[in-house]
Amino acid sequence: MCWPGLKGQMNGKPLSQDPLIRNRIAEFACSIEAVRTLAYRVADQQNRNEMGLMDAASVKVFASELLEKFGQIATDLLGPHGQVKHSKWAKLNGAAEYNYQACFVPIVSMGTNEIQRNIIAWYGLGLPRMK
Ligand SMILES: Cc1cc2nc3c(=O)[nH]c(=O)nc-3n(C[C@H](O)[C@H](O)[C@H](O)COP(=O)(O)OP(=O)(O)OC[C@H]3O[C@@H](n4cnc5c(N)ncnc54)[C@H](O)[C@@H]3O)c2cc1C
């Protein structure tokens, strides 16, 4: 990918006018809305004292991997300027770089995503447990 200059422009145009970038951001926005809806569903189940294991595991996998995707998109878009902080060159004061380094934590913590996928397979889809 070609990186933006300091003014956030590529080929003389703002990044927001690049169709590929718009496409990535729009797709990401759709994913956020999808996981938000799923999270509300889990909250509603908990309010009613129901335990939706598959939905809860799905939210955890979906949201944590979305955060990782955000780290990739943000660092891609900001290029080298997104990888520095406390500098006049830093974009968003290094928030993209910080997120990129920290985004693996939710994938591993609170039960790894591999285990969450097992829960989805066993309790949600009724697949047999592995021996
Ligand atoms: C920063 C951090 C915060 C955490 N917070 C929490 C928390 O709040 N609550 C909590 O309960 N736990 C928490 N954990 C524990 C975490 O969710 C994992 O359960 C734990 O790290 C896994 O144990 P292990 O490191 O011994 O890996 P192992 O059990 O040795 O697993 C190694 C790898 O193999 C995969 N794996 C293991 N067994 C299977 C299987 N049967 N099927 C498929 N893949 C498998 C694992 O997903 C992992 O990727 C946290 C861990 C970290 C690092």
Closest CA to 54 of 129, 118, 119: 119
Structure confidence by residue, pLDDT tens digits, 92-128? 888 888 898 999 999 999 999 999 999 999 999 999 9
Domain boundaries defined on the chain: 18-124
Four-CA torsion 115, 117, 121, 123, nearest 10 degrees: 60
- The C-alpha atoms of residue 124 and residue 107 are separated, in whole angstroms, by 20
**Cα 7 to averaged position of ligand 1 atoms, centre (Å):** 42
Superfamily of segment(s) 18-124: Butyryl-CoA Dehydrogenase, subunit A, domain 3 (1.20.140.10)
pLDDT value, residue 87:
82
How far apart, in Å, are the Cα atoms of 109 and each of 39, 65, 78?
18, 12, 28
Mean of the per-residue pLDDT values of the chain: 89
Ligand 1 closest atom vs CA 117: 43
Q: Is 44 in the pocket of ligand 1 (CB under 6 A)?
A: no
Task: Say what percent of the chain tops pLDDT 70.
Answer: 94
pLDDT surpasses 60 at 60: yes
Q: Is 112 in the pocket of ligand 1 (CB under 6 A)?
A: yes
**Cα 110 to averaged position of ligand 1 atoms, centre (Å):** 8
Q: Is 115 in the pocket of ligand 1 (CB under 6 A)?
A: yes
pLDDT surpasses 70 at 3: no
pLDDT value, residue 92:
82
Ligand 1 closest atom vs CA 113: 47
